[in-house]
Structure 1
Amino acid sequence: MTTSHTDAVARFAADWQHSIRDDRRPPQITDYVPDGTQVRLAVLTDLLRVDLRQRWEREGLGKRVVEYRKEFPEVEHSPEFVDLVCEEFLARRRNAPLPMAEFLCEYPELADEIRARLTEFTDAEAEDIGTAESSEAVAAVADLAPGQRLDDFDLLTDLGSGVLGRVFLARQRSMQRLVAVRFSAGRAGAPRTMAQLDHPHIVRVFDQLVFHADDTQSPAVSSSTGHRGAPTMHENTDTTIARTPDNSDTTIATPPDLAATIARAPDDSDTEIATPHDPAATIQTPFGNRSATATGSLADERTIAQTPRRHTDISAVPTVGARLPRLIYMQYLPGGTASGVLEQRRRGPVTDGGALLLRAVDAAMEARGEIRPSDSSVRAEIARLSWPETVAWVGRRLADALDYAEHHGVLHHDIKPTNVLFTAEGIPKLADFAIHEAGALTATPKHTAVEADSLRYHSPEQLAQLLDPAAPTPGASSDIYSLGVLLWEMLTGAGPFDDPPSAEHGAAVEAFAGALAVRRRGVSAALSHLPEDTPAALLRVLRECLRIDPKQRWRNGAELAAQLDLCLDPRARGLVDPSPRSLAYRARGWLLPFATLCIGVPNVLASFYNIQLNQALIIDRMSTADQHKFAAVGLINNLIAFPVAALLLLFLTRRPLTVGYRLNRGHEFSARTLARARRDTLLMGDWAVWVPFGFWLVAGIIWPLGLASSGVDLPSGTFLHFFAAQVVCAAIALAYPFFPIMVYSVRSVYPQLLVRGGIGLDDERQLRALARRGNFYLGVAASVPLLGVASATFVNAADLELVIVPVRILSVGGILAFVLSYRMFRLLEADLLALARAIPQRKR
């Protein structure tokens, strides 16, 4: 894929996400398709694929391939056109029932090819999601033990077992590395889902091996790599390497004449599998996937494929005719799971903070004979955290992993302590994404497939679907809920709900109904378990995760991660969630009177200075009639200027004035409206000073012109004196209201909008831009005394005595005001930078 191809598709996908966040129209495909280039058709096809997926995920925006074909006729000649049609079927089926026969009627000329592609895909899905467990396969998994060798792996330590099978620490001989190997008897999901996820907080899955046997053929080993390819059995008689043009995925196949055979040793302990010296390699990706996202596993398999392997020992393999275990090998993490962290939390004092997490990691490593890393900056960072901050630190990374996976079409839906693993440094990683995939044609959930340790972390919509398979399918917000439950339990040592005791299989329905009822009652009963130093911000974030209505939770992992970042910055979380006893909290709702006071006081003082100067230099030298005209022109000017300026300011600040007030009373707003309200809040100070500044300057021109038009004969130099005084007043109006208004806005108004989510890089840029603008206004505040002195130089020497008092008052008052402005500038700058630090910059 060329750079221009990649850039065009990446920009289109990014702009789609921006349009969702900002509530704008979707981007137009024509703006991204290159003209007259060789890659136009390839770029267009990928753009249509992105657009099709995004549209069918949003109600009312769905678009069919037939419509794309009318708009872009050349797409019909794309080698991936049938793939697009198949993706349309899957996308539409996720939203509503769609019989395949009905869909094929829409594309009769492609019916056979579409049916073949979809059948291949659904067959692979059925095998990946869960192959029936045979008693022989279950027995084979149960008989595995450390010390045995299975294919390329030497089993070293038993790491535990669960619903998905047993996990061992193993040495992969061909790569000379330690890996975690999971053996399942058919229930586990295939690794292709996790193989496409390359994220620092997701357990890396490398590949799988699936062992088959039947009555007439010896077992053969099949291995597949890639994010959508299913394991296959080949019957090639030649050991050749066959690749599709794109060389994306690799499958190791075993020719029949070299098929592995089982030879039971006399002591019934070892079994040999003979594998070919040069296994055939071919690529298999449903719907013509052209690139391997699991680059790590692809490299591994190519290495393995080139490594001579004459004989491999395997122990405890069932007899011919059985379904043999599936082997999945993945990144090995020696730091244990969140279950160990929860045990330490229930035993150890919460005052230990991050050391409690490190103790759990060290205990897990000690049990496995691992050595704790030395000179680790990550461990030093964790050790400095309080326990609530440690929970936020862990949760922020898991939320980021969920967001990354969701953007790759993968949901988890089984978040629980055993699926959160830790590295030796204490870094968390999510495991077992393979069970659920966004849009996969999953089977109806079985009551017996739900473990007790999974049930307590299920979201209400998951429980509702267990009770009623026709209920709406849980989405990404379900994972947000489950992660919130886990983080709450880590924080308090107890779950947020008093779940009913686990029931027997016959009473599963009652258990699901009871758990659902408990969740609907909320978490108020669990508040007593909170540590005393729990920040209000963290409590707010977790309670938002546990909303019963999915629409009221954080919309995705990115929002949750950003909010947890706020919890990790003491200054930022103090701004966003101030104490109810603080002035910033009590001042919420005072925006209009406070802004009126901040704008009014400097402008009134400026008016007083202007009147004193004009009285001494202009008005006292006029006739009585001209003085009346001066007053009349001034009255008309003020009656027009002040109301117009006030209305203009109210219009510009309408969102900060209304959105926060209505949010506190239960109103909901779109992400676009909230983003605009945040932007307008950070611009309030600018509007509060530039509007009066402009009116002062305009008045400095219109007022003398109005006097002249009324017949007043102005002395020479009067206009210059009048305008110079207006400039000084305009500077006062520009310099002094800005800082008190912005300090108030950032501390009392902006946080109410920030906690509603949807924050991103635009907010971070706006915060930093405001910090930079503060330097300009600080400079203006410093210039006011100088401007007063400079304006006095235009006065005749004989008149200096008349203006010296106002100028002195202006100079002294300006210096004091500058000192106060400087203090507020430093306070505002620190607040803005704290909030900006808490907005993460993510790259997916």
Structure 2
Amino acid sequence: MPLIQDGSLTDMNAKPPPAEDPFETQCVSAVDSAELDDRLIACLERLAESDRACEPEHLLEYLSGDPADSFILVELIKLSMAMAVQNGSPIWLEGYFEAMPGRISAATAPLDLVMEEIQLRRESGQTLDAESYHHRFPQFGTVLNPLLDSPSSESVTAAPRQRSTSELDNGTRIDDFEIIQMLGKGAFAHVYLAKQTSMARLVALKVSGSTGDEPRALAQFDHSNIVRVFDQRAVPVGAPGDEQELHLLYMQYHPGGTLSDVVAKVRQVSPSERIGRLYLQAIDENLLSASQVVPDRSPTRNKLSDANWPKLVAWVGIQLARALQTAHDAGVLHRDVKPANVLLTAEGIPQLADFNVSMAGSAGRAGAAASLGGSVGYMAPEHLRAMSATLMGSGDDVREQADLYSLAVLLWELWQGHRPFDCLTQAGSWTEVLDDQIQARDQPLVEPESGGTAPERVLESVLRDALSPDLETRPASGAALAGQLRLAMHPEAAKLFNPDRGSISAWLMRISPWWVATIAILLPNIAAGWFNYEYNQHEIMDPAMRAGLDEIAVWINSIAFPFAVGWMVHYTRASVSALKAARRGEHVGQEQLTSTLKLGHRAAVIGGIAWMIAGMIYPVLLRHRFEEFSTDDATHFFLSLCMCGGVAMIYPLFTLGLITTYVYYPQMVRPAMVDPNYERNAARMISQTEAYLLIAVLIPLVGLALMVFGESQSKGFMLTAITAGMVGLFGSFAAYRSIVQTWSQLGEVLKTDATSE
């Protein structure tokens, strides 16, 4: 059943769930936090409907004598003051202090309560007297100065005051809607299951006294993981002269409940019992309660039913991270990501609802559930600090990564059944709640119960990064978080992006790409050059010509090798800078990715060009210097250089191809976990290696031809060349298969059409 907190839709179940705690600290305390939440919401709802809401003495009737009374009373005073101002008969704090001696006084009033009065006075057009406030509340010293000195400070702007809304009976017609049943109610809005007559469809109809920014924010999205808002309208109701304008917001109706229902079930079972069917069970119970049909023959439900729990959690996270990416791309922050704000379709698809986009001040909303939006149990540390700073009259900017942090808290709770923080104190005021939560964020996370499976290890690693107090460690975007969560669904691919410390990949990452590229091009060329020299000395050159060959070889090699190395170092610069940026968590551009993926091809081309030029220069110089150096000798010499040049090409190509595929590319993509050109990059790498595989096939054939048709004095050299060529062929084929397989694994995470996960 949906829950409305201060006019915000937070749930859409078919039956009432435990209310989502807006300030729950998950503490070890005298009062159970869930019970405290239920009580707070119930008290606020009763007070909003009461005819005596503006009578300070009336608030005592809501107290029960337990340790939570001080917190409940502060929140009731805020709502009562707000309603009194709205009714045109303001009552300030002294009125409540005098009516409840022993319960609250100027000396014990928390800062957020004083700030509420300051804001209400400012909204009423009153001039604030700083000296009076310092006299009334000396315990706050200069803390109040920023609030009193800035008459239009945005940091203390309150949310719009909303009128209480009377309940509508089943069967009531309002505008184009026929009320079927109430789904939930709050202090300032009610949500109903209604039939829209003109469209003959069921909708979730939110009825409130005024509107906010949520409809405009949601209406611009057409995303499978964001609840669809159809439209909104204002209608007058009541007798002439006493009319009240109601705001109607109608949206998709999802009877499958919310993730808070799933979390409740997770808490009731042991880790071994947490499987995909548990997720569907929570949905089906809500469907049946709402008299809705449970889908059968659903591929999505079949897939979810068989999923192990860490993979299901990752799947939910992928959907929601993509939704947040869409919202962030449109410049909209959610600010209130929590289980109760994730609706579930009958198919099990999660959808984000209740975009808290108004950026309201913390003390300005009855219930104190939000400053800049959000429920503090799920907030990022910078969001909590911004709330605390707002109470102090300032405020930090809260950006997209705060939404991702909240999503990580949600996923941890869905995975483990509890949030990743320990809070050890019972908060007595809103200020203490914030301080307690801020301190908890800086402590080590609660150790999770884990079966030690690969998906669990990857999921834990991703969530720990996303829950880091350091913004640089967290995923940079929703797309990046979605990509990292996909690793939990594909543990083999995860090893590519997060190699073990003792692995070859990790070792290669510690070596500069300059050294890797230089060694990759030098070693095969040195080996091929040595073999070619020995072969030509013994098989082609007469003893009288060998000294001349030595002299020419020295000159050519002293030019060719530095040229090849320098050229390769030049091409490696982009890879070096890209890897450094990736280590800092920065996005790597497509140009740098492409340059890195071309390293093997460029090394092969450099080597091939050098050998081809040498194959033409050697015979010309030898023919010019020695008359006895025949045309057949020159042809033989040229073919031998071509064969050795082929060996010098394929070894760097496949060596660097493997390294860029296994090591460099995954590390460069890791900060964003997105490559829009993945398909093109993969196709280019695979087709490139296929082409060089043909060269690897030709090398031993050329060697065999030289041995058969040449007048070799010793077949040993050619047999050695053929053997080396065959080894290179088998090695090239193995490398080719490995590269193809690796790109396939990378595609499981990076393919742009991988939306079924």
Same fold by TM-score greater than 0.5: yes
Aligned residue identity for 2:671: R
> What is the match of residue 347 of structure 1?
268
| Aligned-residue offset at 1:776 | 1.0
How does 1:627-638 map onto structure 2 within 5 Å? Answer: 627-638=546-557
* Aligned pair partner of 2:564 in 642, 645, 648: 645
* Residue 414 (structure 1) aligned with residue 333 (structure 2): no
Residues 491 and 530 in structure 1, CA contact (< 8 A), matched pair in contact too: no
Q: Hey, what does 2:717 align to over in structure 1?
A: 806
Counterparts of 1:280-429 in structure 2, within 5 Å, are: 321=242, 323=244, 325-351=246-272, 352-429=274-351
Q: Does 1:527 align with 2:429?
A: no
Alignment of 1:154-173 (within 5 A): 154-162=178-186, 165-173=189-197
1:479–1:712 distance in 2 versus 1, CA, 3 Å: farther
Return the offset for 1:748.
2.8
Question: Quick one: distance in 1 between partners of 2:610 and 2:512?
Answer: 23
Q: Are the counterparts in 1 of residues 456 and 488 from structure 2 also a CA contact under 8 Å?
A: yes
1:491 pairs with 2:402: no
Where in structure 2 are the equivalents of 1:694-733 lying within 5 Å? 694-707=609-622, 714-733=629-648
Offset, 1:707? 4.0
Give secondary structure in 2 for the equivalent of 1:737: helix
Q: Corresponding residue for 2:538?
A: 616
Deviation at 1:825, TM superposition (A): 1.2
2:741 aligned partner: 830
CA distance in 2 between partners of 1:387 and 1:375 (Å):
22
- In the TM superposition, what whole-angstrom CA distance separates every residue of 1:231-281 from its partner, at most 9, and x where no partner exists? xxxxxxxxxxxxxxxxxxxxxxxxxxxxxx57xxxxxxxxxxxxxxxxxxx
Aligned residue identity for 2:388:
L
Give matches, 1:119-198, under 5 Å. Answer: 131-134=160-163, 137-138=164-165, 140=166, 143-146=167-170, 148-162=172-186, 165-186=189-210, 189=213, 191-198=215-222
675, 678, 683: which is aligned to 1:760? 675
Give, as a single letter, the amino acid of the residue that structure 2 aligns with 1:398. Answer: L
SS at match of 2:446: helix
Match of 1:679 among 594, 597, 609: 594
Letter in 2 for 1:686: H
Q: Which has the higher contact order (CA 8 A, sep 6+)?
A: 2
Measured against aligned partners, the alpha-carbon deviations of 1:180-208 in whole angstroms (never above 9, x if no partner) come to 12233447545232122211111111123
After TM superposition, give the deviation of residue 718 of structure 1 in Å.
2.4
Q: Aligned pair in 2 of structure 1 residues 816, 617: CA closer, same or farther (>3 Å)? A: closer
2:594 is aligned with what amino acid? Answer: R
**TM-score, scaled to structure 2:** 0.71
Contact 1:589 1:661 in 2 (8 A): no
> By how many angstroms is 1:401 displaced?
1.3
In the alignment, the residues of structure 2 paired with residue 661 and residue 474 of structure 1 have an alpha-carbon distance, to the nearest angstrom, of: 28
Structure 1 residues 474 and 713: CA distance shift in structure 2, 3 A:
same
Report the Cα distance in structure 2 between the residues aligned to 1:450 and 1:826, rounded to whole angstroms.
60
Question: Secondary structure at 1:717's aligned position in 2?
Answer: helix
| Structure-2 change in CA distance of 1:503 and 1:168 (3 Å) | farther
SS in 1 for 2:445: helix
Asked if the contact 2:342–2:350 (Cα under 8 Å) also holds between the matched residues in 1, the reply is yes
Is there any run of 5+ residues in structure 1 with no aligned partner, and where?
A: 1-124, 214-218, 220-260, 263-319
For the residues of structure 2 that align with 1:835 and 1:635, how far apart are their CA atoms?
45
8 Å CA contact 2:484, 2:673 repeated in 1 = no
**Residue of 482, 494, 500 corresponding to 1:561:** 482
Aligned-pair CA distance for 1:599: 4.1
AA of the residue aligned to 1:455: V
Tell me the amino acid that sits aligned with residue 613 of structure 1: Y
Structure 2 equivalent of residue 454 of structure 1:
375
The 3 A distance-change label for structure 1 pair 471 and 578 is: same
Residue 404 of structure 2 is aligned to residue 473 of structure 1: no
Correspondence 1:733-812 to 2 at 5 A: 733-757=648-672, 759-792=674-707, 795=710, 799-800=711-712, 802-812=713-723
Aligned to 2:264, the other structure's residue is in SS state helix
Q: Give the Å deviation of 1:179.
A: 1.2
Amino acid at match of 2:535: L
What's the counterpart of residue 207 of structure 1? Answer: 231
Equivalences for residues 575-614 of structure 1 within 5 A = 575-580=496-501, 582-590=503-511, 598-614=520-536
Higher mean displacement: 807-816 or 416-425: 807-816
1:171, 1:582 → 2: CA distance?
Answer: 61
The whole-number CA distance in structure 2 between the counterparts of 1:532 and 1:160 is 41
User: How far is 1:488 from its partner?
Assistant: 2.0
Alpha-carbon contact 1:677-1:753 (below 8 Å) kept: no
After TM superposition, give the deviation of residue 162 of structure 1 in Å.
4.8
Once the two structures are superposed, residues 61-111 of structure 1 have per-residue CA deviations (whole angstroms, 9 ceiling, x without a partner) of xxxxxxxxxxxxxxxxxxxxxxxxxxxxxxxxxxxxxxxxxxxxxxxxxxx
Query: Structure 2 vs 1, CA of residues 609 and 550 (structure 1 numbering), >3 Å: closer, same or farther?
Result: closer
Aligned-residue offset at 1:725: 0.7
**Equivalent position SS for 2:205:** strand
Q: Which amino acid aligns with 1:174?
A: S
Per-residue deviation, 1:631: 0.7
Is 1:334–1:422's contact at 8 Å kept on the other side of the alignment?
Answer: yes
Cα distance between partner residues in 2 of 1:155 and 1:447:
28
Instruction: Using the TM superposition, give the Cα deviation of residue 600 of structure 1 relative to its aligned residue in structure 2, in angstroms.
Output: 4.7
Partner letter of residue 369 of structure 2? E
SS in 1 for 2:677: helix
Q: Give the conservation status (yes or no) of the 8 Å contact 1:129–1:188.
A: no
Count of aligned residue pairs for this structure pair: 591
Residues 1:482 and 1:192: Cα distance change in structure 2 (over 3 Å): same
2:647–2:728 CA contact under 8 A, matched in 1 = no
For residues 674-733 of structure 1, what are the alpha-carbon distances to aligned partners after superposition, in whole Å with 9 as ceiling and x for unaligned? x44433332222123222222111111223344456677633432211111111011111
Q: Give the alignment partner of residue 406 of structure 2, picking from 462, 482, 488.
A: 482
CA contact (8 A) 1:146 1:155 kept: yes
The 8 Å contact of residues 180 and 195 in structure 2, kept in 1 or not, is answered as: yes
Show the counterpart of 2:39: none
* 1:130 positional shift: 5.2
What amino acid is aligned across from residue 771 of structure 1 in structure 2?
Answer: I
8 Å contact kept, 2:459–2:488 = yes
AA of the residue aligned to 1:393: W
- Residue 508 of structure 1 corresponds to which residue in structure 2? 430
Identity score, percent = 30
TM-score, scaled relative to structure 1 = 0.64
Hey, what's the Cα distance between the residues in 1 that align with 2:534 and 2:482?
Answer: 57
Q: Alpha-carbon deviation of 1:762?
A: 2.6
> Aligned letter for 2:494?
R
Q: Retained in 1: the 8 A contact 2:524–2:648?
A: yes
Residue 495 of structure 1: CA displacement?
Answer: 1.2
1:816–1:840 distance in 2 versus 1, CA, 3 Å: closer
